[in-house]
Amino acid sequence: MGTEAIIYNQRGQLSILDQLLLPNQTVYVRIGDVEDGWKAIFQMQVRGAPAIGIVGSLSLVVDLNNQEFDTKSMLNTYLATKLTYLVSARPTAVNMKWCADVLLKLSAELKDCDEVSVAEMKEQIMSMAESFLEKDIEINKKMGMFGANHILERNDKSLRILTHCNTGSLATGGYGTALGVIRTLHNMGRLLHAYCTETRPYNQGSRLTAYELMQDDIPSTLVCDNMCAALMKNWTIDGIFLGADRVVANGDTANKIGTYQLAVLAKYHNVPFYVVAPSSSIDLNMSTGDEIVIEERPATEITHMNGIRVTPKGINCWNPAFDVTPARLITGGIVTEFGVFTPSELNTELSTHLK
């Protein structure tokens, strides 16, 4: 399944792998409440849209495990406050908002049910939050198979696949989204080589994806972000698979900065471009990518490396964490746990499956 980034074996005990220290140190950090969860998400000790939703939800369980409430209204209010706070940590990634909406809907239903006690309401909410971890792993494996089978339908050879950022076990509950497709191809004996970008400025590709590929003995090569055009020109890249922090109704996709430029390059070089995203990363309430709020990160992520300044003092910096890829550039398809759809099919197909 890959590296275990989230350890939750007993209620009230949550630890996460501190991804800021990888690949040189493997250190697990204890999450004791929602405040710890928010900090871990904001500081990017945990990152990746699915993992953000899972860790945020489990931090709420740890928090609730130590709380008692006199009334269901008090519990509902406490829950709403904590979930709103967790969503604020990384607002572009939709999964935490999706988890929050599911939990708040359940809370509202239980609050209005006279047959449910405060203790029972709390238990059901905690159980729902805990279920997100196991469900995510199951969904990732489904997407891995859907994505692998889809690209193999147009290829009768072993494939060279390019990916960006980190979308593996470290970014999810386990196995991965886009990296899950690469893992599946490898397990099927149909992956010739995987290429990963370094993913500046936070280097999720060089620090995390390369780490996961090496851990799983997957044949792979790391390239700088500015080498991708040359890579596509000089080598036969059979497909590009990336994750998503938010896919909207028309298929426009927000993902790690640099995704848009890869999609443009892929279009020019006739390389199928895929987005791999569970339904929890898809926001059908937004019509187009123009509505997506793009998080901007501190300038020090550009000006410093390992705490050492590498730029002149006073230089202005622009550091958006994400960009938006127009749906028309997603030429391979959008891979979900329900199948692979074109951007134009996504809204109708997903609405049908989620009824």
Catalytic sites, residue numbers: 245
Number of helical (H) and strand (E) elements in the chain, helices listed first: 12, 16
User: Which alpha helices (H) appear in the chain, and where do they start and end?
Assistant: 34-42, 49-65, 72-87, 95-111, 118-152, 178-187, 204, 210-215, 228-234, 259-268, 300-303, 343-353
Please, which residues have CB within 8 angstroms of residue 223's CB and are 6 or more apart in sequence?
A: 195, 196, 197, 198, 231
CA distance 38 to 55: 9
Residue 268 tokens read as: 């020019």
CA distance 286 to 326: 14
CA distance 64 to 93: 24
Residue 71 tokens read as: 């009334």
Residue 178 tokens read as: 């886009």
Name residue, tokens 């006279």.
114
Residues 232, 265 contacting (CB under 8 angstroms):
yes
Please, which residues have CB within 8 angstroms of residue 350's CB and are 6 or more apart in sequence?
A: 279, 282, 284, 336, 338, 341
